[in-house]
Chain A
Amino acid sequence: MMVKKILFWFVVFLVAAWFLTPVVFIFLAALTPAQDYYNPHKIFPSHFTLDHLYKLFFVLDGWKATIISIEVALISIAISFAVGLPAGYAMTRYKFPGKNAIRLSILLTRSIPLIVLAVPLMVIYMRFNLADSVMGVALAHTAMILPFVVLITSSIFSGISVEYEEAAMVFGLTRFKAFIRITLPLALPGLAASAIFSFIMSWNEVFVASVLTLSNRTLPAHILNTAMTSPDYFKFAAGMIMAVPAMIFIFFTKKYLVSMWGISLK
């Protein structure tokens, strides 16, 4: 019993260490003053500094990139859900010819690396005056997020019995109202989780954002361009900036994320 417990916690510790060690070192390095960082005799800094973060944000225009990142993510989530939610609903609730073909082709779009699309997209964007714009990146991210939203909402809706909706219709609601008042509230946790997951997908996307923009860069694209030519501690500070929001999101929504993927923790 005791041995089992010790073994259990040992494994937990190992797994946690495996994932957390690099994160800890990134954070440490990000907060280490320059002179300590280059001192080979010091692993832990004598004091912490927010200097690198400050410089990254305010001197190197990181705050602007952050705002663009958020804009891009929000726009692509909005478009993806406006189109993907009804599509996901239709995929589960209705029978129509070619349904499986559509489902498959949605999956197939995910098999094309976005970077392959980026160059032709750039050409088209130049024609439509979308190059180097927030909207342009948001649309490209939508191409990445929309299929995910269709598939995941369809699986969320299929987990909610049609009979809940039908009962509401029998008792006096239209199909649309039944969806709004019954199915939507039941789907909300899952939908929120997929929205956050979509946010992170957009937030973390580098390549397309780098190709499609020059001045209006999202945070990762901006970091790739500026920090990578800067001293190492800047790179770590950049890494921290990228990781922290995603980690905070996942921490607060872990329950829903788990349920969205259909795994249950007991």
Chain B
Amino acid sequence: MARVKIENLKKYFGKVKALDGIDLEIEDGEFVVLLGPSGCGKTTLLRSISGLEKVTEGKVFFDDQEVTNLPPKDRNISMVFQSYAVWPHMKVADNIGYPLKIKKYPKDEIEKRVKWAAELLNISELLDRYPAQLSGGQRQRVAVARAIVLEPRVLLMDEPLSNLDALLRVKMRSELKKLQERLGVTTIYVTHDQVEAMTMGDRIAVMKDGKLQQFGTASEIYHTPANIFVAGFVGSPQMNFFRMRVSSEGTKYFAVGFGMKIPLKGDPRKDQVVMGIRPEHIYDQASGSTQEVEAEVYFVEKLMSETIVHTNLPEGGRLVVKIPGDVSFQEGQKTKFYIDLDKVHVFDPETEERIKL
């Protein structure tokens, strides 16, 4: 187990800046998720931490030891690959035991640990099979078992659940998280699935174009997104954004536009702001401090547990609203919605950064 510290990490593939100056500090035993759209550099960051990729610039530390130029074999890490990379010419037991065999553990010790890992992952009855005789989910468990037999300093996982069907994915999600808590191993987990990130990560590092956008708990990411990208990337359906004028009345400030007048909590020191509000923070009934907005229903998605209403605002612009439960709306119907003023986000239209009010 180790702390992981990444300092100004850069990795260029020719002209492509896969990593463009990443700083990250991960606590001992923490479960950190790297989240971001395809091509943002998640895999590259993971591979740089593992040593499989040589970095262009910057440093990687495990605890106080610099490992930047250490080959992967000397880093004492484990990895679960997206393709699992379970060796096809070895039986499951040999696959799981191989990291121990490399490190020259005695035979009975290997056997003991393989048994332990297999039991932990519920694959004891598969030990005599070859990987070709396993399902995707079973192969994934083998890959995880292999990754934990050695008690690595850092466990790296690259989208380990992406090849599983939805049901198994949900099940494995909680199992992996529980397993990590039990082992207490520092884990870095790559995904582009935000639900996976929110449910599994102690902290989430959101990336885009090789740059770290925000690093924080799920709650921080959700409630105080650092910029428009993070705000839009996390949450489903996506946050509504409106570019609005700022007007002041005495000491009070408002964001005005699209038939809305949203009181702000302070002076944004801008002529214009981007106002953001999540669909689930717009209600069909007034409550507490809300701001009424009139809209015309344009399209309704009924998921039974919730209803997603796409509406057009009178001054143009689209507002998406998520109402819990199975509520009926007519398309074309004019109706009133209520924006929760405590949940309004304000961003700088130029830098796209969050404005703290």
Residues in chain A within 8 A of chain B (CB atoms): 161, 163-164, 166-174, 182, 185-186
Contact = CB atoms under 8 A, between A and B. Distances in A.
Given A163-B81, A166-B52, A166-B81, A171 B98 contact: yes
B85 A161 contact: yes
Which has the most chain A C-beta neighbours within 10 Å: B50, B78, B89, B150? B89
A170 B83 contact: no
A161 B82 CA distance: 12
Interface stretch (B28-36, B69-77, B120-128, B164-172): B69-77
Nearest to A172: B102
B78 A171 contact: yes
B72 A169 contact: yes
Contacts, number: 51
Nearest to B150: A171
Nearest to A188: B89
A169 B99 CA distance: 10
B202 to A, nearest CB: 23
B88 interface: yes
Interface residues of B, number: 20
Contact of A173 (B50, B73, B85): B73
A168 to B, nearest CB: 8
11 contacts: A166-B81, A167-B79, A167-B81, A168-B98, A168-B102, A171-B73, A171-B99, A171-B150, A172-B99, A186-B87, A186-B88
A118 B163 CA distance: 55
B146 interface: yes
A171 B143 CA distance: 12
A188 to B, nearest CB: 9
B103 interface: yes
B89 A170 contact: no
Contacts of A173: 73, 102
Nearest to B13: A95
A168 B102 CA distance: 9
Nearest to B73: A172
B88 A170 contact: no
A171 B86 CA distance: 12
Interface in B82-107: 83, 85, 87-89, 98-99, 102-103
A170 B77 contact: yes
Interface in B45-83: 50, 52, 71-73, 77-79, 81, 83
